[in-house]
Structure 1
Amino acid sequence: PKYYICKASVKCNWTEVEEKIEKTIRKWREIANLDLTDGVKIIGGDWWILMRPSKTEPVLRIMAEAKNQDEASKLVKEVVNTIK
């Protein structure tokens, strides 16, 4: 099956990164599986989201993969809205 990817970057002070990651974990831990190996990977049935801090600039990078572009975009927007 074909999957679609959507990406975003959110400016974030280095001091806020941990708080924003924790906020995301609290929101998603009851409705999806989480993998904290490299940032936060949120795994659903046929989609996933990865959020991780950049190592070179003060931003959080968000990437989602889903079966269609609209779903991938919605997933990214939902995470962006959670951390703003």
Structure 2
Amino acid sequence: MQHVERGQDRGRAEARRPTFNASGLGLPSLGPDVAVMVQSLMKEQCRTKAIESDSEEGWDVARELLKWFQIGVTDRNRLRELLASRN
């Protein structure tokens, strides 16, 4: 049995662990500025549509925003337009 110090063993375990983040498994993390923008657009849409941000509908808004951002829509006004066009 090979002796490995705890710090080394923990580092290896963390290196093997898949990454999870706001945009999904293994995808790059969103920066803090993007996260703030997405959150503010989500809250704005929820207020406009009179839905709770922590409801399933609110989470749907967040998922849509993240999906659009991942496919390259990064302009705040364009994201707002896309949200307004949702059913």
TM-score by length of 1: 0.33
Specify the structure having the higher radius of gyration (Cα): 2
Q: Which structure has more strand as a fraction of its residues?
A: 1
Q: Which fold has the larger relative contact order, with Cα–Cα distance below 8 Å and residues 6 or more apart in sequence?
A: 1
Q: Which structure has more helix as a fraction of its residues?
A: 2
TM-score by length of 2: 0.32
